[in-house]
Structure 1
Amino acid sequence: MKIHKEGRRILFFTLLALLAANLLLFRYNAENSGFNKVFAGISVIVFLTLLQFFRSPARRLFTHEDLVIAPADGKVVVIEDVEEPEYFNDKRKQISIFMSPINVHITRNPISGIVRYFKYHPGNYLVAWHPKSSTKNERTTVVVESEAGPLVLFRQIAGAMARRIVWYVNEGDEVSQGEEFGFIKFGSRVDIFVPVDTEVKVQIGEKVKGGQTIIAQLKTTAPSLF
């Protein structure tokens, strides 16, 4: 299993800390072997949970210029028309994907194109499904002019557990569909905003995979696969 670069340092120091704690317990608390065994078991569970969180599975990426691909693993929790106040200042269709602690937390470019806007917003850490998390929580906003023409906005949003968002894109960059654009450590949600006439290909509650699941089809004059 491949480990993502964002987790290697955390895993290394966590392993050292857990090993040190267990060695100290078994040396200075030998008379309480029952507790020591329980602590050792919990240590293994904690480390395996972190290992799963930072895994980076190989993916066969699906790409097409007029298709919007899921930017993250998780469950679709929002599909609705909303006012987008940061960049478009008009109505857009929002699709939101909630990432649980057991999901892969790599975030991927949903389309190919040029980054026309990028901004990092410090903020709060409301639970990811809170209605105001999209505008109140720590987040990044990326707007890409797609190869098909329309602009697509997507956000990494921190949650109650997430305390660090990592991104790998800047304004002016050319990005490719399915490539990593960031990582959310211990959380939580990605929002995608597309034109209101976009055809959505997923439903509320559907589980999606980053870089593989088609979530929407943009309106374009180019021939479609679907």
Structure 2
Amino acid sequence: MMPIARLNDDELRSVIQGPGDVEWRYEMRRECQEILPGLWLGPFVASKSLETLRALSITHIVCIRDVKEAFSVRPRFEGQFQYMVLDVEDNEEQNLIRLFPAAKQFIDQAINAGGRVLVHCNGGISLSPAFVVMFAMQHYQISWEDALHLVQNRRYCISPNGGFLTQLKEYEAIYKANLALAAYPPAARPTARRKRADDDDEEGDNREDDRKRALVYTEPEPEVKHDPDAMEI
């Protein structure tokens, strides 16, 4: 796993704000931008330029595509880069959270090994940015809104659809819950006491004794009748 960035509040604000000297131009949407150190985001067209990939020292590529685009949006240089291909449906019903852990693991391993990763979909506007926002969110331990601004401040044209935005909010709750669980000392977590075998034996003996006691029958003493004519001793 890629180490979580430990930044103070001022450093986080600076990271989220991004470089202030970038003048965004319309044609830049056809290029890719570095979002985190070693992590780039862009459209499919950027992944087709071997010259661009080599200039950026890209080593790994996450290709996220709509299943209907598989014939055109595909790896072009499989012998020269390591690829992960995710086939999805680019609509608001697509579950991205389920697919994200594998993508994150791929990116983590690449960057930890000194590699550089390009994440792309067809246009680099909605689908692949949602994955990168989730990655930035967890990497910096920030809110989904701050993570979205972080990515937008480097690639101005991104616009995840409404369904993806909802999942970004949900993922914030998921990763924060996992952090809280990991920070909770295992020894302090309440655990149910497992019943020992001898406990069962003791309970069984007690139950058997109870049954035995319940079955004990004491015959009542015969009633002695007083005869008034009998001689008293």
Q: TM-score range by the shorter chain?
A: under 0.3
* TM-score of the two chains, using structure 1 as the length reference: 0.27
* TM-score of the two chains, using structure 2 as the length reference: 0.27
